[in-house]
Structure 1
Amino acid sequence: MIPRPRIFSHLSGSYELASGAVVSGPADLADAVRAALPGLDLRPGDSGAIDLRLDPALGPEAYKLVVGSRGVEITAGDRAGAFYAGQSLHQLLPDASYRFSTGGAWNVPGVRVEDAPRYSWRGLHVDVARHFFPKRELLRLINLMAMHKLNRLHLHLADDQGWRVESRAYPLLHEVASHRPRTAVHFYGEPEAYDDVPHGGHYTLDDLAELGAYARAREVVIVPEIDVPGHACAILAAYPELGPTGERHEVLDRWGISPAILSPLPPTVEFLTVVFDEIIGALGKVPFFHIGGDEVVLDHWAASPEIDAYRASLGLDSTGPLHAWFLRRLADALAERGARAVVWDEAFVSGELRPDTVVMPWRGMEVGRRAAAAGHDVVATPVFPLYFDYAEAATADEPMAIGETITVADVAAFDPAPESWPEESRARVLGAQAQLWTERIPDGRTLDYRTWPRACALAEVTWSGRAGDDFAGRLGAHLGRLDALGVEYRPLDGPRPWQRRRPHRPGVIRVPDVMERLDRLTHDAESTRPSV
C-alpha cells in the first residue's frame, strides 16, 4: 500500500468482494466507503459484505480494517477514517479494479490494518494563475489525491499572469484580468521569447461550488489563495485605482517578480474582503485562506505621499511594518469569516502576524523553525525537495523545467519536522505540501508528469511520518494502479519518447545554488525585521 499503514498484517483466508455488494453501518460512513470504491457500485443496506462501525476514540482520520472469510469489517474514527479505510481496501484489489467496471468480483486477501495519519496537512499546491487548468483537471486531481490520502488542495488563484475566479462584485477581474495576449516560453536565463498565443480562463463561482463539494466528498479541503499585496499586475489591469499610482497595468506575459503592488489603503481592504466573501460563499466551508504576502516590492508605497501619510497615522515607522499591518488586517477579516490566514514565509519575516496564522516556509526549513518557535503553525513547503516544477533528472531528456534536480528519493527522504528541532517546535508542524508552479507546466499531461510519482512519496511521508524502507518496491507495484487510471506519470527510468517535449538543459539553475541564495535572502530579511 501507498502510503504505508501504521500496522499491517496478513491473516488466513480471503473474501470475494463482488460488484453491487452491500455496505452496512452509519449512512455517512457507508457513503464514504462507496466514494472510495466507485467502480464496485456498492449499495447501502442493513447487513452485507462490508460492515462499518464508528468509534470516535480512534481519533480523526483513523481506522481499523479487517478482511476475513466472512467479509470486511471497518471501524472508523470519523467519516474521513471510513473513506481512507475504503482507499486501503481498494489497494488490496487488483490494478484492474481502478478501471471502470460494470460487474465482476475481486478476491480480497485476509489482512488486519490499523492506521492513522502522522500529519493533518498533506497537500498539493497548483498554480492555476501562470497556466490555467480547466475544472476537469482539478476534479481528476482531487480523485488522485484522495487515492493517496492527500487532503489539502491549495489553489493559487491570482498572480501577475492571471486572475482565475469569477467576481460578480468586480466583474472586470474575470472579464479583463483572466487572460493575456501571449506567454513567455524561453529557458531560465535565456533572452525572452514568446509564443504569441493568447492564454486565459477562469472558474465561475458555480465551478468553485462544485469543486468544493466534490473535494469534501473525498475528504479534500480546498485552500484558495489570493496573493497580495504584490504579484498584482492582473488585478491592476482590471482596477488600476487599487494601486498606489492609479497606473493601468497589463496582465503580465513573462515570469519573475513584478513591482506591481496593491495600495494598503482602506478601499483595497474593502475590495479584498468582498472577494473573500465571494470565494468563501462559493466553496462552502473554508477553514484556511492563503493571502500570499511574498516577493513584495514596496517602492511604490514609499513614493506615495498618501500612503506615507496613512502609514504615519497608524504609528508605523516604515513600509515594512505597513506590509505586516496590511496582512494582519486581512487575517482579521478572514478570522471574522471563520477562516485561518495562511502566508508564505516573507510575511512572517516582515513583522507581527495574528498568532493563528499558518506559515509556509518555502525558502528553507530554518525560517520554518523560527516561525514555529514564535508560536505559528507551520506547513513545510521548502524548494528542496517540494518544488515539483523542478526536473527529476539533470539530463537532456527531461521536459523544460525551472531547474534540476528533485527526485522521488529526495521527496521520500524529507522530514517535515526534523529531529534537531525542539519538541515544542516540531509539534507546530501541521504537515507538508508540494508546490506545482506552472510557468513551465502548460497542460494536464505535463502536470501529471511533474506530479507523479513524486506525490506518491509525499503521500507516504505526510501520512506515515517517513518513507518505509520498502517504499521503492511498493512504488514499483503501485504504478500499475496509475496505469489503470490513465495517469501520465514520469517512469522511474526516465521519460517516454513522447514525454521528451522541449528538453531541459542541465546546469541552468541548480538546487544547491537556489538554496544558498534563499538562505542569504532569509538571513538578510531577518536582520532588518523590526524588533518587538
Structure 2
Amino acid sequence: MDLIPAPRRFRALPEPAFTLGPDTGVRVGPGTGRAARRLRAELGAATGFDLDPASDGRIELALDPALGAEAYRLESGPDGIRLTGGAEAGLGHALQTLRQLLGPAALRRAPLPGTRWEVPAVRIEDAPRFGWRGALLDVSRHFLPKADVLRFLDQLAAHKLNVLHLHLTDDQGWRIEIRRHPRLTEVGAWRERSMVGFRAADRRDDRPHGGYYTQDDLREIVAYAAERQIAVVPEIDLPGHAQAAIAAYPELGNTDVVDTAALGVWTDWGVNPNVLNVSDATLCFVEEVLEEVLEIFPSTFVHLGGDECPKDQWKASPAAQARIKELGLADEDELQSWFIRHFDRWLAERGRRLIGWDEILEGGLAIAAEPKAAPVPRETSDKRPRNEGAPERGTSAPDREQPEVRPRSRAAVSSWRGYAGGVAAAKAGHDVVMCPEQHVYLDHRQAAGEDEPIPVGYVRTLEDVYRFEPLPPELTALDDGGAAAAHVIGVQANLWTEFMDDARDVDYRAFPRLAAFAEVAWSDLPRDPAARDWAGFERRAAAHYARLDALGVEYRHPAGPRPWQRRPGVLGRPIDARPE
C-alpha cells in the first residue's frame, strides 16, 4: 500500500473497503480521549466530516497494554476501522498510517471536493525499531518563527519520528528567553549581518538577522509536540559555541585573555575560539539558565553540546590554568570533562539526564571518582551576572556538600563524527544516539550537480540515507550478548541551518531524505544495507511525493532542484571523497 515507514506486518484482506462518510463517528475507548480529539481534528479537517462520537462509531479506538507503548494494530474492513495502541503514542502512529491509507488528500487541512474516502481492508501490526527517532533543527544559525517549528513537528509526526532536538543557542544567536538574564535575548538574539555561503567567498548580506522564542512560545511548542507523541529535547551549547552568550554577558568569557566586551554576536560560520570561562560564577550562571530551561521542557534529556570547544584560550588563561591545578587535572581536555560532569551531576540531581556530542568523551566521562569541586563562596557567587533584583532560584550545586566519590556518569552521547564515538560510548556503558555526519547530516548536498543550492559536505542521496545502518559491526559482532548494541537507544538526522535561511530551504534539504531516514529508524529492515529493497522503497517514495505535496513540503524533486530552489553563485564547501 506504499506506506512509509514500512510496517512490520501487513496483510491485505479479501473484503470490500470501508468508506468514510458524513455519518461516520469515532468510538472512544477508555484512555483514548486525547487521541480521539486529534483524529477528529486532523481527519475532520481533511474530510469535512464531524466524526462525532454520537454517530455510528465505525472508527473505534482502544488500548491494549499487551502491546508496547508505541506499537499499534490497525484493522479495517467493510464494517469499520479499529485502531489499537499499546498507549497513546501507539494510537498516534496508527492515525498516521490511517491517513496514508486514505490517500494524500487526508493530509490536507481542508477537504477537496469529490474525494471518496476509502480505507482498504487490511490488518497491520507495527512497532518501531528504535525508541529515539529524532531530527535536529538548528534555529540558532537561522531563526525559524514559531509557526515554522509547529509545521516541522507536523512533518515529523507524519513520518512517526518522535524527538525534536531543538538547537537553541550558538555563536550566531541565542533563541530562548531567560527571564533572569534578559540580555541573552536583548543582545544575543540578533546579529548585524550573516555570511552568505562558505567563508572562502568572503560574502556578507549586511542584513540584521534575529529572533527568539518567549517561554510561552516554547511551552506551546512542547505541548503541540506532546499531542503528536514527540519529545522536544533542548540544546544549550557549552562551553564552546558560546559567543552569543558572551556578547550579552562579557564576564562569561576568558577576560584575562580576550577583550570580551568588544565581542558581538558572531557573523561567521565555523568553529569559534571564544569559549566560556570555568569560574564558579559562570557555573552558577549556567545553572540559573538551566533552571528556567527545565521549567519549560519536561524531557528526560537535556542536550548541552560539548562539541568543537577550542582550548587555546584556556591554555593562555591564568585563571583556567589555576583551575586545572586546583582540581588536579592533567590538561584542558580534562578541564572540559570536569565542566561537563558538573552539569551531568546537576541534571541528575533534578531527575534529568545530560546528552552531549561525542567530544564529551574526551578527557574522561564515565569514571568512578572525580575531584571534589571547591565550594563557591557566597560573596563570589553573588557577583555572578544576573538580572538585578531577580529572586533567588535555589542554591547552586557547588554550594552544597559534595561526596568525595561520584557515581558513574549517566550522560548519553550523540555520535556525530562517525560511528567511533558511539561505539566507544556504548562499550563504556553510555546510551548512544547515532547521528554520523557522513550519513545523516541532511544539510549535506543531495547530488553532485552544480545546480544543488550551496553545495556542502558529502553527496548523500535518497538511496544513501535509505541504506544507512545505525548499528555498526563493531557493536553487533561483540560477544557480549548484545549488551553494548542495546545502548544504541536511537538514531537522529541533523539539519544545520548555516545554509538554510527559511522553512523552504529546510524543506528542500530535509525531504524526501527524512522519509527514508524515518524508515531506517522505524522499520525492521535488513541489517545489511546492500540487502535492502531500494527499488521497492523508490516505488513507494514516488507515491509518497503526493503526500508531501498535500502537507505543503517543498522537497527536492527527483529530477533536481526547481529554478527557485537554486542559489547560483553562492559558494559552498563540497567534499569530493565518499565517506567511509
TM-score bucket of the superposed structures, by smaller chain: over 0.9
Counterpart of 2:43 (choices 20, 39, 43) is 39
- 1:266 equivalent in structure 2: 280
Question: Structure 1: any 5+ residue segments left out of the alignment?
Answer: 517-532
- 2:382 equivalent in structure 1: none
Partner SS, residue 392 of structure 1:
coil
User: What pairs with 1:77-226 in structure 2 (closer than 5 Å)?
Assistant: 77-101=86-110, 106-187=117-198, 190-226=200-236
8 Å Cα contact 2:128-2:521 kept in structure 1: yes
Size of the aligned set, in residue pairs, is 512
Q: Aligned partners of 1:14 and 1:312: how far apart in 2? A: 74
**Per-residue Cα deviation, 1:184-215 (whole angstroms, up to 9, x for no partner):** 11435x24211101001000001001000000
Q: Aligned partners of 1:130 and 1:462: how far apart in 2? A: 27
TM-score between the two structures when normalised by the length of structure 2: 0.85
- 2:434 equivalent in structure 1: 380
- 2:312 equivalent in structure 1: 299
Partner SS, residue 62 of structure 2:
strand
1:504 Cα offset (Å): 6.8
Over the matched positions of the two proteins, sequence identity in percent amounts to 46
1:69 Cα offset (Å): 1.2
1:361 maps to amino acid:
S
User: Residues 196 and 504 (structure 1 numbering): CA distance in 2 closer, same or farther, change over 3 Å?
Assistant: closer
Q: Aligned partners of 1:4 and 1:359: how far apart in 2? A: 28
Matched, 1:510 2:576: yes
Question: Structure 2: any 5+ residue segments left out of the alignment?
Answer: 45-49, 367-407, 527-531
Moved more, 306-315 or 115-124: 306-315
User: Residues 193 and 503 (structure 1 numbering): CA distance in 2 closer, same or farther, change over 3 Å?
Assistant: closer
8 Å Cα contact 1:399-1:503 kept in structure 2: no
1:505 Cα offset (Å): 6.6
Structure index of larger Rg? 2
Counterpart of 1:391 (choices 423, 441, 445) is 445
User: Residues 420 and 506 (structure 1 numbering): CA distance in 2 closer, same or farther, change over 3 Å?
Assistant: same
2:10 maps to amino acid:
F
Counterpart of 2:356 (choices 316, 323, 343) is 343
Partner SS, residue 224 of structure 1:
strand
User: Residues 404 and 352 (structure 1 numbering): CA distance in 2 closer, same or farther, change over 3 Å?
Assistant: closer
Moved more, 198-207 or 467-476: 467-476
2:422 maps to amino acid:
G
Moved more, 47-56 or 81-90: 47-56
- 2:380 equivalent in structure 1: none
- 1:6 equivalent in structure 2: 8
Q: Aligned partners of 1:301 and 1:341: how far apart in 2? A: 24
1:74 maps to amino acid:
L
1:133 Cα offset (Å): 0.5
Q: Aligned partners of 2:175 and 2:315: how far apart in 1? A: 30
- 1:29 equivalent in structure 2: 32
User: What pairs with 1:463-478 in structure 2 (closer than 5 Å)?
Assistant: 463-466=522-525, 469=533, 470-478=536-544
8 Å Cα contact 2:197-2:572 kept in structure 1: no
8 Å Cα contact 1:390-1:404 kept in structure 2: yes
1:315 Cα offset (Å): 2.3
8 Å Cα contact 1:395-1:506 kept in structure 2: no
1:31 Cα offset (Å): 2.4
8 Å Cα contact 2:190-2:210 kept in structure 1: yes
1:336 Cα offset (Å): 2.2
Q: Aligned partners of 2:565 and 2:184: how far apart in 1? A: 35
1:342 Cα offset (Å): 0.7
1:426 Cα offset (Å): 1.6
8 Å Cα contact 1:398-1:503 kept in structure 2: no
1:501 Cα offset (Å): 2.6
Matched, 1:408 2:462: yes
Partner SS, residue 424 of structure 1:
coil
Counterpart of 2:264 (choices 235, 245, 250) is 250
Q: Aligned partners of 2:293 and 2:116: how far apart in 1? A: 43
- 1:426 equivalent in structure 2: 485
Partner SS, residue 231 of structure 1:
coil
1:341 Cα offset (Å): 0.6
Q: Aligned partners of 2:208 and 2:328: how far apart in 1? A: 46
- 2:394 equivalent in structure 1: none
1:27 Cα offset (Å): 5.5
- 1:455 equivalent in structure 2: 514
1:349 Cα offset (Å): 2.6
Q: Aligned partners of 2:22 and 2:243: how far apart in 1? A: 53
Q: Aligned partners of 2:276 and 2:573: how far apart in 1? A: 36
Partner SS, residue 120 of structure 2:
strand
User: Residues 161 and 195 (structure 1 numbering): CA distance in 2 closer, same or farther, change over 3 Å?
Assistant: same
Partner SS, residue 568 of structure 2:
coil
- 1:529 equivalent in structure 2: none
8 Å Cα contact 1:36-1:90 kept in structure 2: no
8 Å Cα contact 1:286-1:338 kept in structure 2: no
1:166 Cα offset (Å): 0.8
1:14 maps to amino acid:
A
1:155 Cα offset (Å): 0.8
8 Å Cα contact 1:83-1:218 kept in structure 2: yes
Partner SS, residue 102 of structure 2:
coil
1:273 Cα offset (Å): 1.5
